[in-house]
A = this chain, B = another copy of it.
């Protein structure tokens, strides 16, 4: 890692096109790919179809990304990063709200939910180690983020202290993921309405009549 590569730790980016020109082109392809997925979803997204929509050959795509799998995961990563900045600005005691917000952002671009779900389902299978690593890491990261917020809430007295933060974090994430898919299949499913029920779990013993 010498002259002008990208971030030292970014193995995927370094694998091909590690120098200025290549990096720029890679970014451009990624950006265009996100647009394509957002608009059309995963429907018939062969390497050839993606390449055509972008205006290159499918072999050119494979010059920048070692496989279809890695290209698609990079699209998810880029889309995730794009929104993470927003979350940091939010009230650090929010727990369900942060997921509701994310869920609504996602269903606004159904293609991304479709891509996310498909890659997640695929990541369980053998031979999809790259996907598996991404999703393992993503869930780990997301749970840690929520656990931290839950603990802040517990210390502040706004969240019941008799609940396991890890179990709660996993639950909130699972509910958010699951509701997005149900909503895509049937828009009468009320994502926010269902997620808000989780606030009932969080609230300390209430002085309810």
List residues of A whose CB falls within 8 A of some B CB: 41-44, 110, 113-114, 117-118, 120-127, 132, 135-136, 139-140, 160, 163-164, 166-168, 170-171, 173-179, 181-182, 184-186, 189-190, 193-195, 197-198, 200-201, 205-206, 208-209
Does B178 contact A194, Cβ atoms closer than 8 Å?
no
Contact B43 A132 (CB under 8 A): no
A185 to B44, CA, bound (A): 27
The one of B174, B201, B205 that contacts A179, using a Cβ cutoff of 8 Å: B174
Chain B residues positioned under 8 Å from A140 (CB to CB): 186
Closest to A135 in B: B185
CB distance from A80 to the nearest CB of B (A): 16
Q: Please tell me which one of the listed residues B120, B175, B186 contacts residue A121 in the complex, with CB atoms under 8 A apart.
A: B120
Name the B residues within 8 Å of A177 (CB-CB).
174, 177-178, 181
CB neighbours of A194 from chain B (8 A): 167-168, 170-171, 174
